[in-house]
Amino acid sequence: MNTTQKKIALVTGGSRGLGKDMALNLARKGNDVIVTYNSKKDEALQVVAEIEQRGQRAAALQLNAGTVSGFDTFFAALQATLKKTFGTERFDFLINNAGHGISVPSLAATTEEQFDELMNVHLKGVFFLTQKALPYLNDGGAIVNISSGLTRFSYPGSGAYASMKSAVETLTKYMAKELGSRFIRANIVAPGAIATDFNGGRLRETPQVQEYIKSITALPRIGQADDIGGVVAFLCSEDAKWVNGQRIEVSGGMYL
């Protein structure tokens, strides 16, 4: 690999919300960035434009993170983009961020279809996307998997979602162990309640929910997207070169 080659980060679900902030923070650290989007192409291209305005190279690729059968097509497109836009065949940082929530009142109200949808995106998708990414991931790189504060504390209706995230936390330890010989680090970032359009923007749009979240958080405010991206960028930097197999919760101290 060319020693002057900039590091390249791949952020799934990078067109908006937390993923967008991760992409922008990685660019601020001097990394080139590839973001994926499921359906929001225009928003993804806007993120690309913002990154390019900062002097870094960027690209956007379509990816349905819950459809494993489409991953080979995605990696063919990724390989072409790496060569054309970045002049290389590999990248350095994989951030498995793409995902969504569901609004259900309880375990009893969760359907099998909802369960499978969450599993396909948040667990199966993460497992096989990472597996297929390994030949393209540079030694000495890093993987950051996005989890949730809901793996430490419970909230009614989030049982299926949190279970997938708990599984990814365990998976991340195995990634850290198995990829250690390549000096690829793997860590978890677990956001608390963040005011984005996640779950239909429920937290962002509901004052009563905001007041409740403030009341159970040591730092009494609502989390914002820009609370998360800097932590992800840190884990992809040399400052975090000895951080491996760890879960870092970024919640302002919820339910302490």
Q: What distance in Å separates the CA atoms of residue 60 and residue 113, rounded to the nearest whole number?
A: 29
Catalytic residues: 161
Q: Which of 176, 191, 75 is nearest to 135 (CA)?
A: 75
Helix, strand, or coil (residue 161): helix
181: left (phi over 0), alpha (psi -120 to 50) or beta: alpha
| DSSP strands (E only) in the chain | 8-11, 32-37, 58-62, 91-96, 137-146, 185-191, 247-250
Instruction: Provide the CB-side half-sphere exposure for 106 (13 A, CA).
Output: 2
Eight-state DSSP code of residue 122: I
Nearest to 19, CA basis, from 31, 37, 32: 37
